[in-house]
A = this chain, B = another copy of it.
Amino acid sequence: MPRVTNGSVDGIQVEDVRIVVVMVGLPARGKSLIAQKIVRYLSWLSIYAKAFNVGSYRRQDNPAPNAEFFSTGNTQGEQLRKAAAEAAVADMIEWFENEGGVVAVLDATNSTKERRRWIAQKCDERGYEAMFVESVCDHEEIILGNILEVKTTSPDYKDMDPETAVLDFKKRITHYEAIYETITETDLTYVKLINVGSQVIINRIQDYLQSRIVYFLMNLHIKPRSIWLSRHGESEFNLSGRIGGDADLSARGRAYAQKLPELIRESIGDRKITLWTSTLKRTIQTAEHLPYPKLQWKGLDELDAGVCDGLTYKEIEEKYPEDFKARDDDKYNYRYRGGESYRDVVTRLEPIIMEMERNENIMVVTHQAVIRCIYAYFMNVPQDRSPWMEIPLHTVIKLTPKAYHTEEERFFANIPAVSTFRAKHTSAKMEGEVQPELVKTEGDVQVENS
């Protein structure tokens, strides 16, 4: 919500804050998943974050060790693993000092008090705040799921048949279990997540950014679910090429609203779903025929175009030529006079994203810029691209979060609508029709295991 000023971002004096989130946990407890989610969430909020995966450092010299490498008796293995941790920490320090990093996530098992003390001291020396995040899990089913889903695709087991890989990986876990010490160091800042949030223990949380990360972790769940996103149907303003406003749907927009229940019926099936709209007429009218409990969020209203509200892109270009250019140059940060930027929209969407993480199946009927921001969160789209993504009218986007990526499907109503997409350095084309087809893509997240 706050703007950058005096080196501060988003209410946090980032100038003074460097946080090292130190993952703790046995293999197959979802550490890398949590690390990725933290990085994605913070990046979306413009907080510079990066995960440092100790396993990938270790793999530089030992690309595919078997379980014995991780045995307590294996002194050489132990030395090599310590060297990998040291290399990761050295790179992390380099990143903090020379690249302006704010939150590093050190992704490794960090399973002994000795190792954690070493990291805490490294952080202390440089004024970084160490925050340990332990994932404890004794649900056999979840662990086995993690082993199967993630580990068989790990670079460590690249050319091994899956069954042998699982056996070897289970043996590796046993070696870690032999030396594992759960966090009891009450002088450290830590969060202990027990069985995916069924119990959370929070110790000595120190500042705002830490508390935000904790609240985010509290809200995560791993129940299967999907999110359906749709823009409102074509509006009268879309027809005349005007932005903003609070217009009614056009005839074609009403046809889309009519067709929407059928379009998604099969995809939703008998799942319990809640429908969220903005407070503007065009989203409420679009959701009118959907038979689900409804909720209106002011926070889902379209990006406020300020003095440009109700104008066409052509009029904006004529009336405010410098603004028009400035917006093209940095669309994410450009704030309309008296209105909002994409950055502002992300800030007001943050509690809504938190609600999305916490909830199960949701359908959201909202606006172009707002969908771009939501989509960017789930699909990890960077800020220089997200404001330029094409989100056509009369199309439902279904997102299904998986462990390390988000699956995407699109459903096309095949009802013509104007295109409201405006490419960089052009006036908007406000004609043409959306292309009917079904597309499947996947948000890509790279993960390596330690």
Check B351 against A3 for contact (C-beta < 8 Å): no
For window 179-212 of A, CB contacts with B under 8 Å fall at 186, 197-205, 208, 211
Q: Max chain B CB contacts within 10 Å: which of A2, A214, A294, A352?
A: A2
Q: Separation in Å of the A417 CB from the closest CB of chain B?
A: 24
Complex CA gap A340/B279 in Å reads 11
Taken residue by residue from 291 to 302, chain A's Cβ proximity to chain B (1 for < 8 Å, 0 otherwise) reads as 001111111000
CB distance from A14 to the nearest CB of B (A): 11
Contacts A1-B351, A2-B276 known; A202 to B205 CB distance under 8 Å?
A: no
C-alpha gap A8/B344 in the complex (Å): 26
| Complex Cα–Cα for A309 and B338 (A) | 10
Contact B11 A297, beta carbon cutoff 8 Å? yes
Question: Is A219 in contact with chain B by the CB < 8 A criterion?
Answer: yes
A6 to B295, Cβ gap below 8 A?
yes
Chain A interface, >50% SS class: mixed
Complex Cα spacing A298 to B293, Å: 32
Interface flag for A13 (CB, 8 Å): yes
Least CB distance, A366 to chain B, in whole angstroms: 12
Q: In the assembly, what is the distance between CA of A51 and CA of B143, in Å?
A: 43
Give complex CA distance A63, B197 in Å. 44
Known: A202-B202, A214-B218, A338-B246. A294 touches B351 (CB 8 A): no
A279: chain B residues at CB < 8 Å are: 3
Residues of B within 8 A of A296 (CB): 2-3, 5
